[in-house]
Amino acid sequence: MTIEIDIARDFSKKPFGRNELDGKYSGKRFRDEHLLPALTASDDEILTVNLDGVERGFGSSFLEEAFAGLLRQNIGYDTLKNRLRIMTSNRDYESEIWEYIDEQNERDSA
């Protein structure tokens, strides 16, 4: 089974910033209210996150906090590699997300 989160539909068409100080629709809020519950609801469901449909794109702070921040919240690297799927027409966002996840994993492993 697959869980799908559509950021524009389920969260905001204007996501922005790292945390609450940056605004209402921050990466931290998206992680805490959407990604973490979806990943902890089951041990094996695939989580597909659709990035398309937002109005201004994504800043690096939003993407880093939302996705690499999962590792800082004790979601394992292998869990993300096995269960997280990024859906987007802009493949640069997908690459950027995995780069942040890989970098956080390297920091955690050091």
pLDDT tens digit string along 9-62? 999 999 999 999 999 999 999 999 999 999 999 999 999 999 999 999 999 999
Exposure b/e, 54-91, CB count within 10 A at least 16 = b: beeebeebbbbbbbbbbbeeebebebbeebbebebeee
pLDDT tens digit string along 85-101? 999 999 999 999 999 99
Amino acid found at 56: R
